[in-house]
Structure 1
Amino acid sequence: MGNWMNKEPPPPVVLVPPLFDFPPLAARNRMLESSYNMLFGKVALKCLFEDYFEEARHFNTRIMLKPLDDPHVDLVATVSGPIDSHPDEKVRGDAFFRWQSDVDDPHTFVDLFVSNSDPVLQMRSCAYYPKFGFGAFGIFPLLLSKRVSSEDFGVMGLRYGSGNLSFGATVTPFSATDEMPKTVWLVSKMGRLTAGIQYEPQYGKEDGLKFKNLLNWSCAIGYGVGSGSPLSPSFNFNLELAKSSQFIASFYQHVVVQRRVKNPLEVDDVVGITNYIDFGFELQTSVDDTKSPKDNAADSTFQVGASWQANKNFLLKGKMGPLGSSLALAFKSWWKPSFTFSISATRDRRTGSISHGFGVRVENIREASYQRADPNFVMLTPNKEHLAEGMIWKIGKRPMLQSDVNAGNFDGLPRELRPFDKIL
């Protein structure tokens, strides 16, 4: 009885909600892509500028499910189309059926793609051996209404990946053309700097001329700070010269902040909540001196975007550019499976009109369970030496997770929170 009366109150904690969509779906297929196309902030910027920004006057429904009895397989189905009946547009439907050899390792898999438009049936496969760092992959369109480009006959590739180096090549062995190889890339990381180069022969009639043509070469360099885990802040700045004709500058920043909890339904020991704020900027401008200054101005554009995840349920995003601006609001319920509803509004600066888009997602592929104050994820060390009132809310202080995450040890975290540092 005495022990019960003298029981100490629980330590103050800060809630750490799961991110809406992490890891991004593009991470599941990263072994099918050139590392050059996946690095330099490209995946993060694509998620920031595209996710939940539905096309104006269109709807998008996505179902991502896996059976409880066999987590090695899953299905991603998408149905999208215009809200109003339009004679020139039809409802598009497609689906991926995927088998993955290891539940925790998405790099070895086989999937089938079916659609009501080209390609009607496509198979993709990838085998990666982390012990040696080598992998092989292939993309094979099985049913097409017509085969025009070399990719329509299938693409195969070999790659090597380590924590600081990635190189590989893709070929089109079944194509009638002599485009060999289709893509070659080399990316290296040195500390916080990442540099890469990529060769894609698209200009020139002969292989020798294609190799010498600068329009077939792209190069990029990036500077990044952060571990890659969403529980830690990160920042990266990138410069790219694409096809030796277009200059692209971009930056992306992921910020982890804390705010007080003003929710009477929470218990007294919960004093704050973690928020995730993301900023992104991308500038593209033509540097091709063969074009007129008027054409160069038309090829130049930029966009700025930001997102704020207030808690585990609400996400607010916005972006703007020279032609228009968009705002998106998403609500997510963490049931099993989870349910997400989003609405976006787009304003066209040329006409002044505002149009809306809607999206619905159902998912149980990415499961997050780190919302409540688990000892592994509290922002404060649970003892009397670190009290919330004396540490969290000081201006200029940024208290992060005090234990393993601060030390760079992510072994105790869920797999979706661990950074992808083993493979560049």
Structure 2
Amino acid sequence: MGNLFDKEPPPPIVLVPPLFDYPPLAARTRMLESSYDLLFGKLALKGLFQDYFEQARHFSTMIMLKPIDDPHVDLVATLSGPLDHKPEETIVGNAFFRWQSDVHDPHTFVDLFVSNSDPILQTRACAYYPKFGFGAFGVFPVLLKQRITSEDFGVMGLRYGSANLSIGATVMPFSVKDDLPRKAWLVTKMGSLTAGVQYEPEFGSKDGQKYKDLKNWSGAIGYGVGSSSPLSPSFNFGLELSRSNQFTASFYQHVVVQRRVKNPLEENQVVGITNYIDFGFELQSRVDRFDDTKTSDDESNSNKVPDPKNIPDSTFQIAASWQANKNFLLKGKVGPLSSSLALAFKSWWKPSFTFSISAVRDHIFGNTAYGFGIRVENIRQASYQRADPNFVMLTPSKEHLAEGIVWQAGKRPMLESNINAGNFDGVPMELQPLRKIL
């Protein structure tokens, strides 16, 4: 009987909320893209600088749903347009219907794309075999208002990917020009360093010597530490020279911080909550402002003289975001031409509901405009996770004396040592890092 009255109190726990959008939707189609275009922090920076920053005086709506009986298929539909009706602007509607071979592996799939603009109907497919590292993919526009370029007839590609190497190429099988390949890339990783080159033959003569023109080549080098899991801090720094005249320097940092919380809606043993803070910076500068060399591709514009006042030497942007809990996200970015602030609220119902509002300040004209966004989703489902206090409470306190015991039957606490060692067993899929394919 004494054990009933002298029962040990439950150990203190910490809330670990899911990220608003993790894994990112762009990761579902990463095998269709060049690894060069996604690495060096580009995917993370794109989300930081673009997500929830709606266009001024515009709205956007996104619906992402999948049936309960068949999780292998889902539908993503978007609708966007101006808040005030203008004859020159129209409302754009798109929809993707997707079939995925493995629920937890998005790299083998087929989808159909429909839109009220070009392409009207398009199909995409990708097959990837992780055991061998080889994959094949294709993008084929089925219905178009008019086919002008060779790309309008379809693009196919082959790739090889491992944890330290990615190599691939895309071709246009129905092209009448000698533009093989359409794009080729090689990216390798050595420890924390990542380096890569990409070839896109868009400039030069038509005698098959386009690979000698430096304008068709791009190169980048990056330094990155940490995993892609939101539970782990990460840092990425990259330098890129694109087409021999565009220099880009960028960095992205994901910070995991903890703060104490007194929430009357939670249990008494909840002593803290995990927050996610992201920083990003990007600087773009032209190496040569004027190019005196003329090729056959720009002879038609030889009489045009560029105006130096309209060609900026460089531009930059800085952004930061703070996710206070699973419901609130605050983002802001600053640039020489405009600044933006975005606030998003997410309700983790089934399906989840997200409402966002953004304000854009134009520094040139001195006016402020607003944009709105609505998202409904049940593709990525997550909820609060309970962690052992040693996972997050970094300041020495009495909470560290609590033993890491299981306080809920069938659930295993997350420990900081396991996360640092790369052991994500027992961690929800939404918080695990992406598969280690470079």
User: Common fold, TM-score beyond 0.5?
Assistant: yes
Structure 2 Cα separation of the partners of residues 329 and 293 of structure 1 = 39
**In the alignment, which of 347, 350, 363 is matched to residue 361 of structure 2?**
347
| Aligned residue identity for 1:262 | K
Residue 218 and residue 391 in structure 1: after superposition, are their counterparts in 2 closer, same or farther (change >3 A)? farther
- Please name the residue that 2:343 is paired with: 329
2:375 is the counterpart of 1:361:
yes
Note the alpha carbon deviations across 1:294-326, whole angstroms, 9 max, x for none: 369615110000000000000000001000100
- Please name the residue that 1:396 is paired with: none
CA deviation after TM superposition for structure 1 residue 372, in Å: 3.7
Note the alpha carbon deviations across 1:121-176, whole angstroms, 9 max, x for none: 00000000111100000000011111122211100000000000000000001122
Contact in 2 for aligned 1:15/1:378 (Cα 8 Å): no
| Aligned residue identity for 2:382 | A
| Aligned residue identity for 2:134 | F
CA deviation after TM superposition for structure 1 residue 183, in Å: 0.4
Contact in 2 for aligned 1:380/1:388 (Cα 8 Å): no
1:122-133 to 2 correspondences below 5 Å: 122-133=122-133
2:324 is the counterpart of 1:310:
yes
Provide the secondary structure at the position in 2 that maps to 1:47: helix
2:116 is the counterpart of 1:106:
no
2:431 is the counterpart of 1:417:
yes
Contact in 2 for aligned 1:11/1:269 (Cα 8 Å): yes
Contact in 1 for aligned 2:126/2:137 (Cα 8 Å): yes
| Aligned residue identity for 1:170 | T
Provide the secondary structure at the position in 2 that maps to 1:30: helix
Root mean square deviation of aligned Cα: 1.9
Contact in 1 for aligned 2:14/2:271 (Cα 8 Å): yes
- Please name the residue that 2:267 is paired with: 267
Residue 150 and residue 319 in structure 1: after superposition, are their counterparts in 2 closer, same or farther (change >3 A)? same
2:291 is the counterpart of 1:281:
no
1:183-332 to 2 correspondences below 5 Å: 183-288=183-288, 290-291=290-291, 294=308, 298-332=312-346
Provide the secondary structure at the position in 2 that maps to 1:80: strand
Structure 1 Cα separation of the partners of residues 333 and 95 of structure 2 = 29
| Aligned residue identity for 1:137 | F
Provide the secondary structure at the position in 1 that maps to 2:148: coil
- Please name the residue that 1:378 is paired with: 388
Structure 2 Cα separation of the partners of residues 79 and 202 of structure 1 = 33
Residue 227 and residue 129 in structure 1: after superposition, are their counterparts in 2 closer, same or farther (change >3 A)? same
- Please name the residue that 2:169 is paired with: 169
Provide the secondary structure at the position in 1 that maps to 2:390: coil
Residue 215 and residue 296 in structure 1: after superposition, are their counterparts in 2 closer, same or farther (change >3 A)? farther
Structure 2 Cα separation of the partners of residues 338 and 108 of structure 1 = 26
- Please name the residue that 2:87 is paired with: 87
Structure 1 Cα separation of the partners of residues 341 and 258 of structure 2 = 24
Structure 2 Cα separation of the partners of residues 78 and 20 of structure 1 = 18
Provide the secondary structure at the position in 2 that maps to 1:28: helix
Provide the secondary structure at the position in 2 that maps to 1:282: strand
Provide the secondary structure at the position in 1 that maps to 2:267: coil
Structure 2 Cα separation of the partners of residues 408 and 199 of structure 1 = 35
| Aligned residue identity for 1:323 | L
2:84 is the counterpart of 1:74:
no
Structure 2 Cα separation of the partners of residues 162 and 144 of structure 1 = 36
Contact in 2 for aligned 1:227/1:234 (Cα 8 Å): yes
Structure 2 Cα separation of the partners of residues 241 and 293 of structure 1 = 24
1:43-82 to 2 correspondences below 5 Å: 43-82=43-82
* More displaced stretch, 408-417 vs 286-295: 286-295
CA deviation after TM superposition for structure 1 residue 91, in Å: 0.7
Note the alpha carbon deviations across 1:20-52, whole angstroms, 9 max, x for none: 000000000000000000100001000000000
Provide the secondary structure at the position in 2 that maps to 1:208: coil
2:412 is the counterpart of 1:402:
no
User: How many residues matched?
Assistant: 410
| Aligned residue identity for 1:248 | T
Contact in 2 for aligned 1:58/1:80 (Cα 8 Å): yes
Structure 2 Cα separation of the partners of residues 339 and 64 of structure 1 = 10
Contact in 2 for aligned 1:140/1:153 (Cα 8 Å): yes
Contact in 1 for aligned 2:73/2:100 (Cα 8 Å): yes
CA deviation after TM superposition for structure 1 residue 187, in Å: 0.2
Residue 242 and residue 26 in structure 1: after superposition, are their counterparts in 2 closer, same or farther (change >3 A)? same
* More displaced stretch, 202-211 vs 25-34: 202-211
1:154-165 to 2 correspondences below 5 Å: 154-165=154-165
Structure 2 Cα separation of the partners of residues 29 and 209 of structure 1 = 32
| Aligned residue identity for 1:141 | P
Provide the secondary structure at the position in 1 that maps to 2:208: helix
Structure 1 Cα separation of the partners of residues 207 and 4 of structure 2 = 82
Structure 1 Cα separation of the partners of residues 281 and 213 of structure 2 = 30
Structure 1 Cα separation of the partners of residues 252 and 23 of structure 2 = 16
| Runs of 4+ residues deviating >6 angstroms | none
Note the alpha carbon deviations across 1:384-420, whole angstroms, 9 max, x for none: xx8555699xxxxxxx942421221113222232223
Provide the secondary structure at the position in 1 that maps to 2:364: coil
Residue 296 and residue 420 in structure 1: after superposition, are their counterparts in 2 closer, same or farther (change >3 A)? farther
Give TM-score scaled by structure 2 length. Answer: 0.90
Contact in 2 for aligned 1:17/1:274 (Cα 8 Å): yes
Provide the secondary structure at the position in 1 that maps to 2:308: helix
CA deviation after TM superposition for structure 1 residue 290, in Å: 3.0
Structure 2 Cα separation of the partners of residues 387 and 404 of structure 1 = 21
The share of aligned pairs that are identical, in percent, is 72
Structure 2 Cα separation of the partners of residues 231 and 275 of structure 1 = 10
